[in-house]
Chains A and B, each alone.
Chain A
Amino acid sequence: MVELQAESPGEGRLPVTAGDLRLSEVVRERMTWLAPYKGQAAALSEAMQAAHGMGWPKAGRMTGRKGARAMWFGRDMALLIGPEPDPGLAAHAALVDQSDAWAVLALEGPGAPEVLARLCPLDLRDQVFKRGHVARTEVAHMAGAIARMGADNWRIMVFRSMAGTLIHEVETAMRRVAARRNSPREGADRAHHLP
Chain B
Amino acid sequence: MERLNLDSLRTIDSIVDRHRGEPGPVIVMLHDVQDSLGYVPFEAMEKIAAATGTSVADVYGVVCFYAQFTTSPKGKHVINICLGTACYVKGAQALIDETVTLTGAEINKTSEDGIFSLDATRCLGACGLAPVCIIDGKVFGNCTKETIVAEINKIRAAEKMA
Q: Are A and B genuine complex partners?
A: no
List the interface of chain A (C-beta within 8 A of B).
Answer: none
List the interface of chain B (C-beta within 8 A of A).
Answer: none
